[in-house]
Structure 1
């Protein structure tokens, strides 16, 4: 197992996903988020199929032991994608990225509620600190302390937060899925089901995109599929507990991309809130290592996000 190679693949996947998010953010100035989600899902399928064929795993990818579990994962994933793209269309890229960092915090809380996992004082304190960071980022969008927030900002902030909560539910669901379903099957059928679900939104306001917007939508799909492959491959070379810490490098990418391509400068509130969330997330990761959480279980769970 080459740890450095795994770290490189993880960071590369984050860069690819940020590039995808940038194309989506640009495209959603013209098309609705649900339409962008359809293209993201549809054009990821050829990439995933090509990857499975190259590894001789296509037949395994088509096999479903529990179709209902795949359906739940696909529907929730499609909803999360549409919410995430809605947030991208209404918030600065660093803000949407930072709010997404709340996912591990919600996982801890939901694990305690639904899986009856014991949350000790250390982890509970880390989660509480992280929630303070989330509130700091959200506060300008939801209060009048920093001027009057627009309806778009409010909606975008709530969409980003709801997406983070649903992703936490998906992670819990994946913990049960990986007991019977293969990695390739989960990846393949998610793309297919998400395409169908997002395609059902066609009557709800889709528009005919211009040429350049169409190119961006297609590229977003290809990059989404490619990023998923890089992410999955990274867990073959390094433990998930090691790679988890590098998730937060995406904030650096988000700030750079937001500034260069969208003329977005993160506020101090965003930077402070993000720093608090990152710190709390790292505390949770450290605690999981101390408790001896299985890296293999994390690998199977996180590789499908």
Structure 2
């Protein structure tokens, strides 16, 4: 096994978050025109075309070791992205990313409830701090009770399930096999949703408010271009992220992912002129501190469990 290279791992993950922060912010460009479901269907078709080009190089392993495990994990990750990108249609990326980063809290709770893993006072306190941070950033009561803020938290829940599935079922699987299954399920969900939203007679609000309810439309050249960028950017970003995990300790590398909160805010300002209030900054700091503590304490407990009795 090669030695860890923490600086290189950090560089790859920071690069991944930098690009994902940019490409994910672009979804708001197409939300007034396309629907969530058609977007995922189109993005998956483009991604499979790119996978075909990658396969021609002969340098990637797409065949899974355990098909059921990779497909189950891909389905959970795809559900997370449905909620994540659904939120991006009408919420700033910083808010959606903050909800997504509730995932460590969900991982801890699910592991305790279903796998009997103890939580401990430190991690429980960190989870409470993270939950408070999520509430501060999403601010669900600022305009009355807003059901929309549940969407990013649901993304974090399914992202946590995908992370647990990766850890429990997908050891030794290649990044490309998992990515292929992920886009397969996104394409399936996108096709089903597009068909339902097209055939089901219902009112679709104008603009970005109709992002989730919109059926099939004829996309403009701009929408096709943004969707292509999203597909290519997702593959590139995930590839950089997986490379980071190959070069460093998983618990340490996971901490670097929280840089997405900062990059999301930067790109939101550059692209849309949006600025963060002091409350949102405080909430993001609390979420980051919570995730760091939970990740480090979880890794420490895992290492302790490996020691001989």
Structure 2: distance between partners of 1:251 and 1:65: 34
Aligned to 2:220: 210
Where does 1:110-189 land on structure 2 (aligned, <5 Å)? 110-139=110-139, 141=140, 143=141, 146=142, 148-149=143-144, 154-179=146-171, 181-189=173-181
Moved more, 40-49 or 99-108: 40-49
Where does 1:1-305 land on structure 2 (aligned, <5 Å)? 1-51=4-54, 53-54=56-57, 56-58=59-61, 61-67=62-68, 69-139=69-139, 141=140, 143=141, 146=142, 148-149=143-144, 154-179=146-171, 181-203=173-195, 204=197, 205-293=215-303
How far the C-alpha of 1:3 sits from its partner, in A, is: 2.6
Structure 1: distance between partners of 2:288 and 2:134: 10
Structure 1: distance between partners of 2:255 and 2:75: 29
Q: What's the Cα RMSD here?
A: 2.2
Structure 2: distance between partners of 1:202 and 1:287: 43
Structure 2: distance between partners of 1:84 and 1:183: 21
How far the C-alpha of 1:264 sits from its partner, in A, is: 1.6
Distance 1:214 1:97, change over 3 A: same
How far the C-alpha of 1:53 sits from its partner, in A, is: 4.8
Distance 1:192 1:266, change over 3 A: same
How far the C-alpha of 1:126 sits from its partner, in A, is: 0.9
Moved more, 283-292 or 154-163: 283-292
Q: Does the aligned pair in 1 maintain the 2:252–2:296 contact within 8 Å? A: no
Q: Does the aligned pair in 2 maintain the 1:41–1:191 contact within 8 Å? A: yes
Q: Provide, for residues 114-163 of structure 1, a one-character-per-residue CA deviation record: whole Å limited to 9, x for no partner.
A: 11111111111111111111122233x3x2xx4x35x9xx3431111111
> Which SS does the other structure have where 2:26 is aligned?
helix
How far the C-alpha of 1:229 sits from its partner, in A, is: 1.1
Q: Does the aligned pair in 1 maintain the 2:16–2:237 contact within 8 Å? A: yes
List structure 1 segments (4+ residues) > 6 angstroms apart after TM superposition.
none
Structure 1: distance between partners of 2:239 and 2:172: 21
Structure 2: distance between partners of 1:217 and 1:191: 14
Q: Provide, for residues 50-101 of structure 1, a one-character-per-residue CA deviation record: whole Å limited to 9, x for no partner.
A: 445546334xx2245343x333323322222121111111111221122222
How far the C-alpha of 1:180 sits from its partner, in A, is: 6.8
Q: Does the aligned pair in 2 maintain the 1:44–1:226 contact within 8 Å? A: no
Give the alignment's TM-score, normalised by structure 1: 0.84
Distance 1:128 1:226, change over 3 A: same
Give the alignment's TM-score, normalised by structure 2: 0.83
